[in-house]
Amino acid sequence: MASELHLRVVTPDRTIVDRKVASVAFTGVDGRYGILPHHAPLLTAIAHAGSVEITEVDGKRSAMFASDGFAQVQNNVLTLVCEAGEFAHEIDIERVKRAEQKAREKLAGLDRLSADFLLAEASLRKALMREMIARRSSGTGNLS
């Protein structure tokens, strides 16, 4: 039997994943992580907007959006605690486009050195990452 890693992905709203997988890759604030079974203990922050690639035990791959949280590896369990997270097939492209437009409009009227500018910029980054993950997963790849 192949070695497996237990993955848990939790948001304030729900537990998205709680199962055995072959491997996981995600974006931390200091770079990209690849986690395999029996990884050394690790605690790191999750990027403000990033993708999580999951390779299932049967070799199938899936992608999800995750943002703002932390990742912990301990005793062959990877736990991602995120402010937001959703599988690519759950992402509503129309909602993402509205969020992108709203963030762009907000950015246009703000001082680049203000805290509000940074918040709007983070919202835009999240919308664009969600859209990229959804389109890449659906095979369209077209971001227009």
Q: Is residue 144 part of a domain?
A: no
Q: How many helices (H) and strands (E) does the chain have?
A: 2, 8
Per-residue pLDDT of the chain (144 residues; tens, 9 = 90+): 458 999 999 999 999 999 999 999 999 988 999 999 999 999 999 988 889 999 999 999 999 999 999 999 999 999 999 999 999 989 988 999 999 999 898 888 788 888 888 888 888 888 888 888 988 877 665 444
User: Do 39 and 24 belong to one domain?
Assistant: yes
Q: Is the pTM of this model over 0.85?
A: no
Per the structure, the complete domain to which residue 95 belongs is given by: 91-138
User: Do 84 and 101 belong to one domain?
Assistant: no
Q: Is residue 143 part of a domain?
A: no
Q: Is residue 72 part of a domain?
A: yes
The answer to whether the CB of 75 falls within 8 A of the CB of 42 is no
User: Do 11 and 76 belong to one domain?
Assistant: yes
